[in-house]
Amino acid sequence: MASKTPTWVWVVLGIVGFCVLAVVALVGGSILMVRSHVHTEYAEKQTAEQEFARQRARFAGQQPLIELRKTVNEDDKMVVHRPPESAPRRTDLQTIRVLVYDNREGRLIHIDVPLWIARLVPSNRDRSGRGRVSFGSESFDFESGNLTLDDVERHGPGLVVDGIDSRGAQVLVWAE
């Protein structure tokens, strides 16, 4: 006589199987998302400078929200030009684009972050919901500077960050 497997065993196996498939889908989706939004290429310094000049020309005369400055004084490395609280939010922004040239490795990195993803990223958030922006070894704490994604939306399309980080990498960030 054949023994029957209890129903609870099949339920547990079904739940475990579903969880494994969900994890595989999440990891696969994350890899696909990163691969489609991050592009790295090796480039000569002159080629990278031309790309930075081309992108900066689009924003001629516009002041970035955050300027990275190389100074001896640690407190003056990031200068924030916060928009006034009364400025209207631009809800039509879709993407934050990042261009970085790492001088030491000769890598030109293009990153496109859809704004809806930027809103979901919890990894750099504290208990108040404010986040932290890092550029190389420098970081700007949203909590101490009260800088939020709303500030970027009030700033509108255009330059968000422009400068050179502490490692010498050129950084250009803009919102579209």
Find out whether 167 and 136 touch, Cβ atoms under 8 Å.
yes
Q: Which of 169, 92, 84 is nearest to 134 (CA)?
A: 169
Contact present, 24 and 30 (Cβ < 8 Å): no
Lowest mean pLDDT among 67-76, 80-89, 131-140: 131-140
pTM of the model: 0.69
The pLDDT confidence band at residue 2, using thresholds 50, 70 and 90, is low
Is residue 77 predicted with pLDDT exceeding 80?
A: no
pLDDT at 79: 74
Are the C-beta atoms of 170 and 74 separated by less than 8 Å? no
**Would you place residue 29 in the very low, low, confident or very high pLDDT band (cuts 50, 70, 90)?**
confident
Spans of all domains in the chain:
8-38, 43-175
The region of weakest confidence among 49-53, 116-120, 137-141 is 137-141
Which residues is 133 bridged to in the sheet?
140
- Judged against a pLDDT cut of 70, whether residue 70 lies above it is answered with no
Of 115, 63, 65, 111, the C-alpha closest to 93 is 115
Beta carbons within 8 Å of 2's beta carbon, 6+ residues apart: none
What's the pLDDT tens digit per position in 33-65? 777 778 888 988 899 899 999 998 988 888 888
Q: What is the DSSP string of the chain?
A: -PPPPPHHHHHHHHHHHHHHHHHHHHHHHHHHHHHHHEEEEE--HHHHHHHHHHHHHTTTTPPPSEEE---SSGGGSEEE-PPPTTSPP-TT--EEEEEEEETTTTEEEEEEEEHHHHHH--TTB-TTS-BEEEETTEEEEHHHHT--HHHHHHH-SEEEEEEE-TTS-EEEEEE-
The rounded mean pLDDT for the chain is 77
Contact 93, 175 (CB under 8 A): yes
Q: What is the pLDDT of residues 142-168, one digit of tens each?
A: 434 445 777 788 888 888 888 877 677
Q: What is d(CA 97, CA 118) in angstroms, rounded to the nearest whole number?
A: 11
Judging by DSSP bridges, how do beta strands 158-164 and 170-175 pair with one another? antiparallel
